[in-house]
């Protein structure tokens, strides 16, 4: 067995910061949702296409993590990418989620709408990759907009073609993952291609949606000066739509899930970036005129 196929077991010391780990993983479950458990596979797939149901992993209420204010963040199941640093590999397969009725999700948003309005918050769809279920997400967003609730999509943009312009018009804010500016590095990190992310960012800008770019800084993988410069060049194509760029330091909090699922973890021995590296990357991006956190 080669090193790349070695399975590891999480040891207790890896969870010594258990409160931090729990706060950054999907612990919310699906309590409070009416779920169409009785539908057969054919009916489920038909309802998925129309957006009458969505396959949901979990949800939670948080503050200033997945957009402004207090937010209901819904983690959808299914993702076409396989990012090396994925924090939630348990969301990769859509079938592992629970089907939830569209109206049940809308009712949940309505329950919190006063809180959202009071705090400047709203609903965020994350994942997994929420763009895999464009019909469901966009119908919830439409209902949210009719309530006056702020909408936010957390996405890689990789499934750009899944979204019509009308769907984009209901996105107030997009947390857009620019995982690399270099094509080869993007392929190495995700297994996918960069072009759809750029196309989606341009469309968001054209339709008036705001963007918070997210870039995960992994030493030895995404940190080269050349790659960071190319990230900046990608972001420049989104013009004034970008409110800021978040440079997110790589961490190992997702590693236990890979172990539990018995998936070889490609960044087993990787370390987070030093303060000096984070400072260098931040200054590189700021030199292009961006606000960087």
Decide: 180 and 227 in contact? Cβ < 8 Å: yes
Return the H-helix or E-strand segment holding 282.
helix 275-286
Q: Which residues contact 88 (CB under 8 A, 6 or more apart)?
A: 25, 26, 57, 75, 127, 128, 254, 257
* Residues in the chain with pLDDT values less than 50: 1-28
pLDDT at 36: 67
State in Å, rounded, how far the first CA of the chain is from the last one.
42
pLDDT of residue 57: 94
Query: What secondary structure does DSSP assign to 17-44, as a single string?
Result: THHHHHHTS---TTTT----TT--HHHH
3.60.21.10, 3.20.20.70, 2.170.16.10, 3.60.20.10: CATH of 3-286: 3.20.20.70
Provide the pLDDT for residue 33. Answer: 67
List the beta bridge partners of residue 155: 176
Cα gap 84→86, rounded to integer Å:
6
Tokens of residue 263, six digits: 């998936």
pLDDT reported for residue 24: 33
The number of beta carbons lying within 10 Å of the beta carbon of residue 9 is 9
Query: Which pLDDT value is given to residue 292?
Result: 98
Cis peptide before 48 (omega within 30 of 0): no
Residue 11: predicted pLDDT: 40
For the chain, give the percent of residues with pLDDT over 70. 87
């Amino acid at each position: 067995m080669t090193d790349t196929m070695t399975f590891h077991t999480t040891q207790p010391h890896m969870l010594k910061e258990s409160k931090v780990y729990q706060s950054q993983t999907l612990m919310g479950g699906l309590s409070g949702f009416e779920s169409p458990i009785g539908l057969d596979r054919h009916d489920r797939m038909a309802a998925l296409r129309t957006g009458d149901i969505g396959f949901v992993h979990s949800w939670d209420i948080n503050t200033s993590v997945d957009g402004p204010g207090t937010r209901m963040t819904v983690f959808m199941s299914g993702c076409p990418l396989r990012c090396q640093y994925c924090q939630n590999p348990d969301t990769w397969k859509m079938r592992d989620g629970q089907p939830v009725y569209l109206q049940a999700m809308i009712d949940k948003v309505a329950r919190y709408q006063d809180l959202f309005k009071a705090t400047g918050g709203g609903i965020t769809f994350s994942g997994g990759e929420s763009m895999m279920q464009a019909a469901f997400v966009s119908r919830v967003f439409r209902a949210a907009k009719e309530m006056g609730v702020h909408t936010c999509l957390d996405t890689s943009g990789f499934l750009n073609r899944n979204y019509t312009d009308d769907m984009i018009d209901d996105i107030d804010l997009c947390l857009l993952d620019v995982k690399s500016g270099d094509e080869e590095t993007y392929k190495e990190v995700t297994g996918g291609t960069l072009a759809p992310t750029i196309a989606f960012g341009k469309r968001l800008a054209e339709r008036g949606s705001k963007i918070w770019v997210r870039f995960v800084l992994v030493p030895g993988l995404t940190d080269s000066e050349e790659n960071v410069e190319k990230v900046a060049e990608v972001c420049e194509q989104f013009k004034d739509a970008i409110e800021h760029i978040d440079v997110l330091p790589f961490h190992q909090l997702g590693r236990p899930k890979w172990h539990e699922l018995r998936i070889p973890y490609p960044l087993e021995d990787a370390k987070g970036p030093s303060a000096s590296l984070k400072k260098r990357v931040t200054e590189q991006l700021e030199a292009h005129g961006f606000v960087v956190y």
